[in-house]
Each structure stands twice: as structure tokens, then as C-alpha cells.
Amino acid sequence: MMKAKLTFFLLILGSIFFCFKPGYAAADHSPLIHVGIWTHQSSVIVSADCNFTIVDTETSQIVGKFAAKQKVIVAEKPAGIVLNGVPAHARTLRVNVTDEKGITEVNRRGYRGVIEIDSQGTVQGLTVVNTLPLEEYLYGVIGREISTDWPLEAVKAQAVAARTYALYNLREHGAGGIDVYATTDNQVYGGTECETARGIQAVNATQGLVITYHAKPIAAYFHSSAGGYTENSENVWGTALPYLRGVEDFDQGTPHYKWEKQWTAADLNNVLRRAGYKIGALQAIELSPLTSPPVNAADRGVSGRIKSLQLIGSAGRVQIQGTKLRTLLGLPSTLFDIKVVVPVQKAIDLQVTDTYGDTEDKTIEINLPPAAAATGIMNNPAFRRITGSPREMIVFSGFGWGHGVGMSQWGAKVMAEKAPAGAAAYFETILKHYYHGVEIEKLY
């Protein structure tokens, strides 16, 4: 069985190398990855820590020679790319450093590997692509995705998850030869300025290790904090993946475990109206109460994350996805409950010359019109009734930070802190907890 798996991996690895451009080689035998680091740019500033040339990628002709630290403004004009105002007569450029270990700078950030600047893509503006060995790419990912001061086993778990996610996405985007973007659209990559000694140590200690399910690299999603329980993938993105199942998280007491946001009815009405929801004044929210996981409710996932809820207004009602509402309101996660409260001012007579005021939160009862009462709203705990009173607050009390699928980074930290002394491979235990039924295999 192991021999069959290794054969499969070699075939996959061979196909990965086959699709890369000639002349690029990964010394550590890892595949090369094409990272979109800048897009939609009217201009970029290029430099290097050693002498460098800029060449026409299509013809290999040198269009400029520059000294170390010299700044070159590469701009897109109607007639084509210009370098410091001089036409380059090229559509795609490559920056070649004279030192094989040289670092190229783009917009004052350093990058290993090769930098290409493309003006002929499907988007307007310049696109900058960084091509480099996957392991070196990970050096610039780890410090942006997790604190490298955390226990090393948690950092190693992040390194393996990030490597697996990158492999899963090779050639995913296609256009412009980009595999992943350097933003939260994929995983955040910051180049050499984000590299740390412990991050590099974690990457090197796990070199080539990949999370697999049935001998294939998985979609190794991760997030900051699950809020006590992770979520099934289909309840967030609609696709059920057998290794992305909800499991207990251990992030209680961590910074992003619990949160609260408050809105007035008027503020919510404005947000909904701007988003195109024409339901009039918000009168009620229909959502089943949040209970302890695993949750069994039609509108919630196994963790309690909201799949959808109903917004009921004076002019109609609409069903909205939990992920959409999270985006509209800027919420940390979709794992939340809602209550309607109003600060009630009460006078306390202390039998002195002054009367002191105090406040308390009180859940209010609202008398809806008979038509609304007839729908069952009045006695249904799933309905949060709203009057629109100026002092009324709609409180979102939630847990976790992020989509909640896959590995919880804060949960991984807590697990690593409780690892047995000397457990140098405890990162595998962490990964196998958050990804169901997987194996940790060495791909290269």
C-alpha cells in the first residue's frame, strides 16, 4: 500500500514539474509555485540587493541593466511598459539578479526566486508574479499566518497545512500562470520581510510533508479560532469534503474565542438597503437559538454556525446566507446568536436630595401587528422581534474568528502547549485531530 502511495506521489510530482517554465529549478526538489503578489498596478518599483537586469520574457533580450539598490519604476502606458519613462517594447518582463541568492524588491518588499511583470493579462494594470520553490514560499507564509513565537509543534502544523493547501491549489487559477495569490483569498504571503528563524525551522523540519486523504493532497483550510467547534465544509461553502468535518476545538479562553457586536435597527436597515434588500423596516429576525454542539438545526451547521436566516421587514422578507450576513456586517464569524435589548433607565429613590439614574439591559417584548402574530412569530423562540425604537439594540453574541473549517490556529496552539514533553512529531496529532481520516505523507 505504501509503495502504491509513493508511486502515485511520484507521478503527481512529475506532472507538477512538467508544467513549470524551463530554466527554473528548485534546489530542494520541491515544486515551483507561481504567486500573484501584486495585481491591478499602474506602476511598481523594482530593485534588488545585487546588480540586476530586466529582460523581455518572450525574447530573452535585455531591456535594462541596473546596479544594486537602484530603483526602477515599471509603469504601464497606452503604448506599453516603460522603465523609468523609457519604452521597454515588451509585454512581459523578468527581473534577473546576478547573485543566485539575490533578493528582488517589488514596492520595497523583498522576494526570493524570480519576479515577472505582466501587462497582457485579462485584468487592467500590471500583474507581478513571484516564482520560487514551494519551501521558500512557505518561509514567507508562516510568519503572516501564525505567530512563530508559539510552540514549535503548532508552527510545524501550520507549515504542513500551508504546504498542503499550496499543493492543492497549484495551477488552480490558471490565468497569468498564477497558482495562488498573496492575500487572504488564498494564504497570506509577505516575502522575505516576514521570514523568521523559527518559521524557517518549522518549514525545514517538515520539508515535503503533506496531508493526504486517499493518497491525494487535501484542501487544508485553516482559520484563526473556531469558537469551541469547527464546521463541516458543506455548511460554509456547499461542498462536502470527508476530511473537513466538525470537531471539538480547544480555543476557550483565547483572544478570539468570544465576541459581541451591537447594532440599532436603523443601522441594520441602512446596511440592508445599501445591499439591495428591499424589505422595508426590519421587524423580526428568524433564527433558531444557538445550542451546544453538535447542533441539529436546519438553519445552523454542526458547530452552530449559521447557514441561513430570515429577515422580516414591513415590506417583505428575505432569506440570507450566514456567510453573506457576516460580510455585510463585518462579523468575525457566523457562529453567533441574536437578542434584542433596550437600555431601560430606572430611577432609584435614595431619600436624599438627588435622584440617581442607573441602567440595565432588558429583553423587550414587542406587539407585532395581527398578521405577524398569525404567522407564529409571537410565541416562537426562533423570532427576535424588533420595534425600531432609537434606544433598542440588536446584539450579536458570537464565538470564533474566521470560517471555522479545518484547523483552528489558536486551538492548535493550545494543543501544542499541552503536548507531552519531547513529543517532536506532535504536529501530526494536531493535524489528524482537525482533518478527519488523513495521513501525513512525505511527498519529496
Query: What is the reported pTM?
Result: 0.84
What is d(CA 13, CA 7) in angstroms, rounded to the nearest whole number? 10
Contact status, residue 200 vs residue 138, Cβ threshold 8 Å: no
pLDDT score recorded for residue 176: 56
Give yes or no for residue 306 having a pLDDT over 50. Answer: yes
**Mean pLDDT in the chain?**
87
Q: In this predicted structure, what is the pLDDT of residue 392?
A: 92
Give the three cell numbers for residue 100.
Answer: 543566485
Buried b (16+ CB within 10 A) or exposed e, 215-237: eebbbbbbbbbbbbbbbbbebbb
pLDDT at 299: 97
| Residue 424 pLDDT exceeds 90 | no
Per-residue pLDDT band at 349 (split at 50, 70, 90): very low
Can you list the positions of beta strands (E) in 31-107?
32-41, 43-48, 52-56, 62-66, 72-77, 80-83, 86-87, 92-97, 104-106
**Joined grid coordinates for residue 342:** 433596550
Q: Determine the average pLDDT of the residues in 243-269.
A: 96
Q: What is the pLDDT of residue 17?
A: 39
Peptide bond into 87 cis (omega under 30): no
Per-residue pLDDT of 204-227, as tens digits, reads: 999 999 999 999 999 999 999 999
**143/68 Cα distance (integer angstroms):** 27
pLDDT for residue 25:
41
Alpha helices in 19-127 (DSSP H): none
- Residue 414: its H or E element: helix 409-417
Weakest-pLDDT range from 121-130, 183-192, 276-285, 398-407 = 121-130
Q: Who has greater pLDDT, 90 or 379?
A: 90
Residue that wins the pLDDT comparison between 380 and 357: 380
pLDDT at residue 64 tops 70? yes
Give 439's contacts (C-beta < 8 A, 6+ positions apart): 211, 212, 213
pLDDT at 342: 80
Q: Which of the pair, 8 or 307, is modelled with greater confidence?
A: 307
Tell how far CA 259 is from the center of its chain.
19
Residue 147 CB partners (closer than 8 Å, separation 6+): none
Least confident window among 145-149, 291-295, 360-364: 360-364
DSSP 127-150: EEEEEEEHHHHHHHHHHHHS-TTS
